[in-house]
Amino acid sequence: MPNIKSAKKRVLISKARNARNKAERSALKTTLKKFDAAVTEGNRTEAEGAYKVAVKTVDKAVAKGILHKNNAAHKKSALTLKLNAMN
């Protein structure tokens, strides 16, 4: 445990930020899984709706510093390819 007051505060802040980031990553993964489930199910309209939500979530993750912008571009490209590959 830290002895200095500012170090104690940093521990508390880092715990809070870690929890927030973990929740954001979990929400991101959930939206991506929902999109994948819609694609494997073959439901085009549901997949398109899930696609819009997933892209928006990926963009928000970049804005919050959860993902790197190139990683987000890669994910969005993969989502688009999956959506376009549907019949």
Res. 1: pLDDT tops 90? no
Within a domain: residue 12? no
Residue 80 included in any domain = yes
Q: Say if CB 84 and CB 51 are below 8 A apart.
A: no
20 belongs to a structural domain: no
Flag whether 74 is in a domain. yes
Find the CATH number of the domain harbouring 74.
Answer: 1.20.58.110
pTM above 0.75, yes or no: yes
| 39 occurs within a structural domain | yes
Q: What is the pLDDT of residues 16-51, one digit of tens each?
A: 999 999 999 999 999 999 999 999 999 999 999 999
Number of domains in the chain: 1
Confidence tier at 86 by pLDDT (50, 70, 90): confident
Say what the pLDDT of residue 63 is.
Answer: 97
